[in-house]
C-alpha cells in the first residue's frame, strides 16, 4: 500500500520522498514509478526504529527541500507469524464465500506471536511512528498548510480494551500528554512480557495474538489526537483506517486493493484547506475512536 500512496501523491503533482527499510526494494519502487512517468520521486532509506536513521531522513529533507507539506506514516507491523503453508490455501479460503470476520478468524487460528514479536510490534507501530513524526514536525510546520496522516486500524479502537480506567485515560485528549503515552507504552511492553493476566489487570486488549497490535494502534490514535491538540490550526493531523486491504500482512486476504486502501490516506492528506484535525477516519468517514 505504501507504493500506491506514493504513486497517487506523485500523480497529484507532489514531489515525493519514498522511504523503505530495504534500500534495494526502495530503489526498485522509485524506478517503477519513474517508468510510469512519475519523475518527481526520490528514495531515502529509513528504519523507523533506529533514531540515527530517522535523523538522517530529517536532515535529507531539510537540506534538499527546506520543508515538508505532507507526511503519511504508513509503516506498520502485526508482530506475528502466520502458519499458512502456501498461497493455494489462501485462494481456497477466499473462494469459500466466508465473510471478512470469518476469514480473519481463519487466519488467527494459524497465527502465533512470541514476546519478542509483540515488543517489535509496539516499537514499530507506536515508537517508530512517533519518532519519525517528531523528527519531521518542524519541517511540516514550515509549510503553510502542513498535514500529517497516521495509517492505523479499526483494531486500535478503544472498545477492545478490557479496563474502563485505561479506556477513559486514552480518551481524555484534553489532558493526555506525549510523556504519558510513552509511559503507557513502557507499561504495555512490561505487561506483554508478563502475559495475558497482567494485560487484563491493567486493562489492555487481551487477544492472544493481536493484543500488541491493537494496543499499539490505539496509542497511535491517542498520539494523533494529542499532536492535533498541541498544533491547533497550524497543522492538520488525522489517523486513517484504510479498510481490510490486500497486503502481505494478512496473506493477501483483504477485500480492498492496495490502490483502494491508499486512496483513503491520500484523500485525507490532500483535503481542501480548513478541514478537520484530530479525527479518526474509517475509510472516508469520520468515526469514533471508541
Report pLDDT digits (tens) over 178-231: 999 999 999 999 999 998 889 999 999 999 889 999 999 999 999 999 999 999
CATH second-level architecture of 73-287?
Answer: 3-Layer(aba) Sandwich (3.40)
pTM of the model: 0.92
What is each CA distance from 48 to 51, 71, 166, in whole angstroms?
7, 14, 27
* Closest C-alpha among 100, 83, 199 to residue 154: 100
- Please tell me the distance from the alpha carbon of residue 170 to that of residue 187, in angstroms, as a whole number: 14
Average pLDDT over residues 231-256: 83
Nearest-Å Rg of the Cα atoms of the chain is 19
What are the sequence ranges of the domains in the chain? 73-287
What is the percent of the chain with per-residue pLDDT over 70, rounded to a whole number?
94
DSSP-derived 3-state class of residue 241: strand
What pLDDT, on a 0 to 100 scale, did the predictor assign at position 87?
58
Q: Which residues are catalytic?
A: 213
Q: How confident is the model at residue 104 (pLDDT cuts 50, 70, 90)?
A: confident
> Average pLDDT of 259-281?
93
Distances (CA, A) of 148 to 60, 127, 208: 19, 16, 32
User: 45 pLDDT exceeds 90?
Assistant: yes
Kindly state the percentage of the chain with pLDDT values over 90: 77
CA–CA distances in Å: residue 62 to residues 67, 108, 122, 148: 6, 43, 28, 17
Give the C-alpha separation, 18 to 4, whole Å: 11
**Pairing outcome for strands 111-112 and 146-151:** unpaired
Dihedral sign for Cα 78, 81, 86, 91, please: negative
Amino acid at each position: 500500500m505504501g507504493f500506491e500512496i506514493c504513486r497517487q501523491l506523485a500523480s497529484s503533482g507532489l514531489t515525493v520522498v519514498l522511504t523503505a527499510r530495504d534500500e534495494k526494494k526502495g530503489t526498485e519502487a522509485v524506478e517503477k514509478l519513474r517508468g510510469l512517468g512519475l519523475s518527481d520521486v526520490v528514495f531515502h532509506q529509513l528504519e523507523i526504529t533506529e533514531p540515527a536513521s530517522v535523523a538522517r531522513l530529517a536532515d535529507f529533507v531539510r537540506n534538499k527541500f527546506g520543508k515538508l507539506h505532507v507526511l503519511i506514516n504508513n509503516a506498520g507491523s502485526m508482530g506475528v507469524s502466520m502458519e499458512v503453508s502456501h498461497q493455494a490455501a489462501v485462494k481456497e479460503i477466499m473462494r469459500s464465500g466466508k465473510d471478512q470476520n470469518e476469514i480473519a478468524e481463519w487466519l488467527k487460528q494459524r497465527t502465533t506471536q512470541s514476546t519478542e514479536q509483540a515488543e517489535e510490534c509496539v516499537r514499530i507501530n507506536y515508537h517508530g511512528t512517533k519518532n519519525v513524526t517528531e523528527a519531521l514536525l518542524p519541517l511540516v510546520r514550515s509549510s503553510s498548510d502542513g498535514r500529517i496522516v497516521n495509517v492505523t486500524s479499526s483494531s486500535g479502537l478503544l472498545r477492545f480494551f478490557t479496563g474502563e480506567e485505561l479506556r477513559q485515560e486514552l480518551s481524555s485528549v484534553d489532558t493526555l500528554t506525549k510523556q504519558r503515552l510513552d509511559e503507557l507504552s513502557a507499561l504495555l511492553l512490561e505487561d506483554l512480557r508478563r502475559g495475558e493476566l497482567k494485560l487484563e489487570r491493567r486493562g489492555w486488549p487481551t487477544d492472544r495474538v493481536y493484543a500488541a497490535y491493537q494496543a499499539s494502534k490505539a496509542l497511535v490514535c491517542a498520539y494523533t489526537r494529542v499532536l492535533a491538540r498541541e498544533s491547533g490550526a497550524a497543522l492538520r493531523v488525522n489517523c486513517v483506517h484504510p479498510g481490510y486491504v490486500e497486503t502481505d500482512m494478512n496473506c493477501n486476504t483483504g477485500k480492498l486493493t492496495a490502490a483502494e486502501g491508499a486512496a483513503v490516506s491520500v484523500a485525507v492528506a490532500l483535503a481542501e484547506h480548513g478541514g478537520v484535525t484530530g479525527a479518526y477516519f474509517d475509510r472516508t468517514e469520520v468515526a469514533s475512536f471508541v
